[in-house]
Structure 1
Amino acid sequence: MFVSPPGEHGDRLHKCPAQVRQHVLDLPALGAPLDQAGSARYPLVALDDIAWFARHMFDHWQSWGARDLAVIGDSLTGEEIAAAFARVTGTPSRYAPMPYDELRAAVPGFSHDYAAMFRFFADRDLYARDRDIALLRRLHPGLLTFEDWLHRTGWTG
């Protein structure tokens, strides 16, 4: 996605093609190549939640053994992300689909990895198919949704 907290990626935005900057600067807009139809879901997880699960697994290593734990906090479409942002921040926003060609132009050098990642998300809803959200919430009742994360961090784009 090309909407980031100030200071994280803003310094690179000026290097993006004009079409990509429009997706970002015709704001607030979430510019991401999720899919043109808007039905793909983007898996989201807060860094604090990743840290919580890592700590939990280290603290209970005997019961985890060689097993892994697939973590996710939320899974939203581009429209849902923009709507949640608007609800929490009070700032109207929209989802602006970003064609893969624009992604490749915006992120030269490793755009093929980004494009493959977003195509994977478009083809597979990780939240519904590959994650046991009930288990994750039993283990960590404070697992954040995207809206929870927005409230907690106070992020406004």
Structure 2
Amino acid sequence: MSSDQAASSGPEGLLAVYDQALPAVYGFVVRRCADRRTAEDVTSETFLAAMDSVRRHRDTEPTTPWLIGIARHKLADHWRRAQRTPEPVEDVPDRGDDPWDAELDRMVAHHTLGQLSPIHRAVLTLRYVDDLPVGECAETLGRTVGATEALLTRAKRAFRAAYPEPQRQSSGRGGHA
């Protein structure tokens, strides 16, 4: 019975895959957003756009990968809007001598990404988190491949410049956070 539901098309098909797809779509989005509220908004926009699509094209068979593709486009829309109206990024708490260096590195990288312009954040996320080829990054961002390669170069340079230097360990002074 559930395999019949998964194979159905139109709005009924979307409803049939909703429970299975929601955690995957939300998980995809939340890893690429600065906060959970934004992730919830983008996830909601994704399912609204999917419903509009299956109503217009009743033969569409919704699947989780199809929904994640819509989410990728909704994220790109969000990043374009954010480029016009930047949002403040919350500070990363100081972890001191936390033994989980990998977690700390992830947090510092996330914070550093948050300091970049939305378009730099978008291209780095698409290329290195989503592991998309430059051509697909260009398509998602609505740019040419050449312009996207140049943008990626500038974004990597900006990330390196914003990434904190590990001076605390080498200086032995550790004074401030």
TM-score range normalised by the length of the shorter chain: under 0.3
Q: TM-score, normalised to structure 1's length?
A: 0.27
Which has the larger helix fraction?
2
Which has the larger strand fraction?
1
Larger RCO: 1 or 2 (CA < 8 Å, sep 6+): 1
Q: TM-score, normalised to structure 2's length?
A: 0.25
